[in-house]
Amino acid sequence: WLLGIFLFAVYIGSGLVEGSWGRIEAVRWTPRQLRELLVTAGASVVALFVNPFTYRLVYYPFDLMFRQKLNIQYVDEWASVDFNDARGKVVLILLAAILLGALLSPRHWRLEEVALGAFALYAGLVHIRFLFLTAILLAPLLAKLLDFIPPYRPEIDKPPLNAVVCAIVTLIVVLGYPTRADLASSVAERYPVNALDYVKAHKLKGNIYNRYMWGGYMIFFHPEVKTFVDGRTDIFEYTGVLKDYLDAELLKGSLQILDKYRIRYVLTSPRLPLAYLLSNTPRWKMIFRDQVAIIFEGSSAPA
């Protein structure tokens, strides 16, 4: 909701001034338009509190910003765009298209378009989770850069050719659609499928320490195995568990943290530093390993 209200405020604020600055122009709202916009904004704010959690849900974005520092610092979706990966390259191409379009196009831009576009780029580049918002806000602006494309002329349309193209596209979709086996194989490459089957088959009892990225998989497919940490990041940050998890992963008192929570089994990746530490700690022994996951068992859980 915070983004929506902020964007609405930017839109309203852009109409409080009037003028022209190069190819940027602004038109002031009429008194009636401004009054209607402000009434709508006020009603929207009031409507925010009509929810099952009342003010607590409205406050939550601020809780995230000011209280959940570890969440924002370490969770991948809050990271900045990495221009070295495929997604970052798409964003880079988009940025180049916008800049070239703005330079080569003779059209004038409204102040609210520039303001919303600037915010969209800032939000998407700083936090990759907002790239969806960036696409939504920039799509209308990019569409205006395509005004040079000739309008649709039905008289030159070729229905048989269109049908052939649609048939080819449909065939590609059908042939490329993953089978159940393909999906299962893809999941097994990223998640501890075999390791959790081992846990279930051997009826391992006791507290289990798991990787953060595997928590959601465990909840969905093995709800009987209680997670140490998972995607409900805010809950774990409030209680200090997230900080302890991050310290354990970074080898900052890892053994003491495992003792603190009376961990009997550790489910982690064999490529992580924690796995190396436990492999060289006499109290811990490896009881399962494959390419994705490794399980350690503590020889004597702390009292």
DSSP H or E stretch at residue 103: helix 86-104
Distance CA 221, CA 164 (A): 43
> If you write DSSP's letter for every residue of 171-229 in order, what string do you get?
HHHHHHSPPHHHHHHHHHHHS-HHHHHHHHHTT--SEEEE-GGGHHHHHHH-TTS--SS
> Cα-flanking dihedrals φ and ψ of residue 120, to 5°?
-60, -45
Distance CA 147, CA 29 (A): 27
Which residues have CB under 8 Å from 232's CB, separation 6+?
Answer: none
Pairing of strands 294-298, 19-21: unpaired
Which residues have CB under 8 Å from 263's CB, separation 6+?
Answer: 206, 207, 208, 209, 228, 298, 301
Quick one: tokens of 40? 């709508």
pLDDT of the residue at 300:
65
Nearest to 296 by CA among 260, 250, 254, 240: 254
Distance CA 63, CA 78 (A): 15
Nearest to 4 by CA among 51, 53, 40: 40
Quick one: tokens of 165? 């193209």
Nearest to 211 by CA among 190, 197, 231, 229: 229
pLDDT of the residue at 303:
45
Distance CA 124, CA 61 (A): 17
pLDDT string in tens for the chain (303-residue length): 999 999 999 999 999 999 998 888 999 999 999 999 999 999 999 999 999 999 999 999 999 999 999 999 998 899 999 999 888 898 898 888 888 877 777 778 899 999 999 999 999 999 999 999 999 998 888 887 777 778 888 888 899 999 999 999 999 999 999 999 999 999 999 999 999 999 999 999 999 999 999 999 999 999 999 999 999 999 999 999 999 999 999 999 999 999 999 999 999 999 999 999 999 999 999 999 999 999 999 986 544
Q: Exposed/middle/buried for 125, CB within 10 Å: 0-12, 13-18, 19+?
A: middle
- Torsional class of 17: left (φ above 0), alpha (ψ -120 to 50), beta (otherwise): beta
Look up the pTM and report it: 0.80
- Cross-strand bridge partners of residue 284: 298
What angle (nearest 5°) sits at the alpha carbon of residue 288, between those of residues 283 and 292? Answer: 120
